[in-house]
Structure 1
Amino acid sequence: MDARTTGVKTAQLYRMDMPDHRCPFGLKSLDLLQRRGFEVEDHPLRTREETDGFMQREGVKTTPQTYIDGERIGGYEELRTHFGLAVKDEDEVTYMPVIALFAVAFAMALAIGWRMEGAVASLRTFEIFVATAMVLLGLQKLKDVESFSTMFLNYDLLARRWVPYGYVYPFAETLAGVLMLASALIWLAGPVALFIGTVGAVSVFKAVYIEKRELKCACVGGDSNVPLGFVSLTENLIMMGMGLWMPFRVYVLQA
């Protein structure tokens, strides 16, 4: 009997489940099928020989493999496609890394502001937000400075004239953010933020709005697919603003 007569949806899943390797895509396929209401005939492949034999027999090059109503659907991504779900394109441009980073920075700023000031809506909370975002952005670049510097050279005007600037930038951004969080050595943090923000804003504006180039932004590291554009420009303008505001607040308003 099949699903048309029993009303029960069934699927067969073949996945690697060895002592030294439990295929994550096999587990994802199993979970997806179960969440879609399927009764899964799970066939874990326990050895390399068993796996190779299955692939040779079925004429496939990878596992897991899912079968529904006798039809081979394929691996995890093919299964998602079968159910009409989105499949990530490794080359697809997206703002999600930047959105996630700024959302986390904002949540941290609210938490710290509440703890320090007893209120979330304060000028200091905004300062903490920007400074935290700078630190997180710097951290993304510091994960792979070499990769960042390579992508950075595509558009940054100063880095293209003086290549070591691409290696210095992540440390400078992180340092400025940390100092602004502590409201310490603002005489150093302010000019650093103002300088790198100004150079960045001019570079982005020239590349995107004058030269009309379609590039990826190195703002969240050298392996990102974030498009260079309005978000990148805004990030640099805010950094410029902080570079001006923090020295003014510390050395003028509080003098």
Structure 2
Amino acid sequence: MLDKNASLEKTAVLHRMVMPNHTCPYGLKAKDLLERSGYKVEDHHLTTREETDAFKAEHGVATTPQTFIDGQRVGGYDDLRRFLGKRVVDPKATTYRPVVVLFVLTALMAGAVSYAVAGTPFTLRALEWFISFSMVTLALLKLQNVESFATMFLNYDLLAKRWVPYSYIYPYAEAAAGVLMIAGALTWLSVPIALFIGTIGAVSVFKAVYIDKRELKCACVGGSSNVPLGFVSLTENLMMIAMAVWMALAAFGFAAGGHAM
């Protein structure tokens, strides 16, 4: 007897590259998306470059994978997402996500270290670690491709525009100040560095965004960033300034709960 549900089953035909030395990741993602969307997938593998090129020529397409539903070509992975009503991320769109994720994780790291040391994540030291961990992590992202960072940084930093080498020095200085602040060591060095780069950075961002009204991408998380220049970058610099002032006060015993360094 014919199963009524079988006739209602949704099917899709997927053509994707599965070669001995390469499996197309978008093909895997397309197959997974179809299956999670309730489709039975007829999975056709393109196992050689010649077979792949012949398939592209036959269907007049430039890429694989290609999905067909009800005999009609849906298209590649992004086209499939649109067909299924899923959001497609614009790789050129600005987003605060990298910075939000970074600050959330550095806050959790600071709380975890505080818990390990003091038995509670809610300590004054945790706040200090949060800022210094953030500085080091931001510097790490910049140093992944310092050339790309420097190029983007030159769009708005006032000192870098006058003295280009500063655009290369900046991430190393930020990293050094952050590491020293984590350790609570050499305050005489970390405080001036953080104050210097933080103040110049804050003034530069404020001028570019709030006075000149320029729409730029921020170099704060590296040269490939799509984070818009503005409040986030200003916050990064103000955090450095606040941390430097706090640690300077603590070093001289003026801050409550301060520690000599």
Q: Provide the TM-score with structure 1 as the length reference.
A: 0.96
Match status 1:60 vs 2:61: yes
**Amino acid of the structure 2 residue aligned with 1:32:** L
Listed one character per residue, the Cα deviations across residues 22-64 of structure 1 (whole Å, up to 9, x for unaligned) are: 0000000000000001000000111112112211221212110
Listed one character per residue, the Cα deviations across residues 163-189 of structure 1 (whole Å, up to 9, x for unaligned) are: 100000000000100011000111111
Match status 1:34 vs 2:23: no
1:5 shift after superposition: 8.1
Listed one character per residue, the Cα deviations across residues 86-114 of structure 1 (whole Å, up to 9, x for unaligned) are: 11112100001101111110110010010
Q: 3-state SS of the aligned residue for 1:41?
A: strand
Q: Provide the TM-score with structure 2 as the length reference.
A: 0.94
Match status 1:9 vs 2:44: no
5+ residue gaps, structure 2, are none
Match status 1:106 vs 2:107: yes
**Amino acid of the structure 2 residue aligned with 1:215:** L
* Cα RMSD for the two superposed structures: 1.5
Listed one character per residue, the Cα deviations across residues 204-248 of structure 1 (whole Å, up to 9, x for unaligned) are: 000000011101100000110100011111111111000111121
**Amino acid of the structure 1 residue aligned with 2:183:** A
Following TM superposition, where does structure 1 have runs of at least 4 consecutive aligned residues deviating by more than 2 angstroms? 250-255
**Amino acid of the structure 1 residue aligned with 2:16:** R
In the aligned structure 1, how far is the partner of 2:61 from the partner of 2:149?
A: 38
In the aligned structure 2, how far is the partner of 1:163 from the partner of 1:5?
A: 68
Percent identical: 60
Match status 1:249 vs 2:245: no
In the TM superposition, 1:12-91 aligns within 5 A as 12-91=13-92
- Higher deviation after alignment, 170-179 or 55-64: 55-64
**Partner residue, 1:126:** 127
**Partner residue, 1:190:** 191
**Partner residue, 2:225:** 224
**Partner residue, 2:171:** 170
- Higher deviation after alignment, 85-94 or 166-175: 85-94
**Amino acid of the structure 2 residue aligned with 1:252:** G
**Partner residue, 1:237:** 238
Q: 3-state SS of the aligned residue for 2:44?
A: strand
**Amino acid of the structure 2 residue aligned with 1:202:** V
5+ residue gaps, structure 1, are none
